[in-house]
Amino acid sequence: MAFSADLAAHLREGVTTTCGAWAIVRRDGQIYGFTDHDMNLSFEGIDFIANTGLTAKALMQTTGLSVDNSEAMGALTSAAVTEEDIIAGRFDGAEVRAWLVNWADVEQRVLQFRGEVGQLTRGNGAFEAELRGLTEALNQPQGRVFQTPCSAVLGDGLCRFDLDTPGYAVELPVQVVERQRVFRFEDLSTMDSFDHRWFERGRLEVLSGKAQGLVAVIKNDRLSADGRMVELWDSLQADIGPGDLIRLEAGCDKRVATCRYKFDNFLNFRGFPHMPGEDWLMAVPKQADSNEGGALVTGDTVSDGFGIGGGGNGGDPGFEGPGA
């Protein structure tokens, strides 16, 4: 970290007027400012509030690729960090910046830490947050993964599929919800064009209400004569009820047939559908096979069930598009 000349001179005086200040930016864009000074501070367009009871332990910084880390502790208050927001996961992965500030002249400051919120716990009216430095990202796997299914996330920069394409997402109000996890729709006027299991493995995003901004993965999507049932893998950790607006997005099971027939996005498929499986090591020539030593891939088909056309990758793909 680089100290300004003014701040360095102030620190050499022996008697200082410094304090800590932290800014937390959640993934939904909400910004929180905290300080351990007894008066509010303001700089970089952020108000740092003094009455939140937030304190931080000493920052541990090392050379090399070790992860800088610290911890912050504070009181759960209705004006700042609430227990409901922590349970809902709104602070998970939030960006954190920490400064050493001369509270008598806030222009004299130095950024000591930048990272994100890690594990966050709460109890007895207080919370404790682990702060992880920028080098934490180096712990994530890098490079391509060689596997049969696609390694991209539907709609990301590798997949490039636009989920706003008509027929692949729908926004509608909640009709019936059970345990914050199971959604039932008896009125199918806005969903009758979507096939059975169309949203399975897709996303549900809450657009209004107390749970606004939360996102969950869809486990089951069942269409029957009684209506439609959409079930999530995990319950939403915030109250959601009838009338709240949600968005359902089509799901992808990472198979090449799904990419080709459901999304018409085969050119961006990021898997290796022709890669033999583990049972290939035990394969032996069979009289019914083509054993002339030629290429296994011919046109749109691959032998031994590795086809990318005609439902070869495990049977009929079963996706004919909305309204089929």
Burial letters for 8-29: b for 16+ Cβ neighbours within 10 Å, e otherwise? eebeeeeeeebbbbbbbbbeee
Phi then psi dihedrals of residue 157, to 5 deg: -70, -20
Last residue of a domain, one of 120, 139, 158: 139
Q: Out of 192-196, 247-251, 304-308, give the one with best mean pLDDT.
A: 247-251
101 with 217, same domain: the answer is: no
121 with 211, same domain: the answer is: no
29 with 131, same domain: the answer is: yes
Phi then psi dihedrals of residue 258, to 5 deg: -65, -45
What's the mean per-residue pLDDT of the chain? 80
Q: Name the CA dihedral angle for 62, 68, 74, 77, rounded to a multiple of 10 degrees.
A: 160
In a domain, 273, yes or no: no
In a domain, 280, yes or no: no
pLDDT in tens, 258-292: 999 999 999 999 999 888 777 777 777 777 777 77
In a domain, 270, yes or no: no
pLDDT in tens, 120-177: 777 676 777 777 777 666 767 777 778 889 999 999 999 999 999 999 999 999 999 9
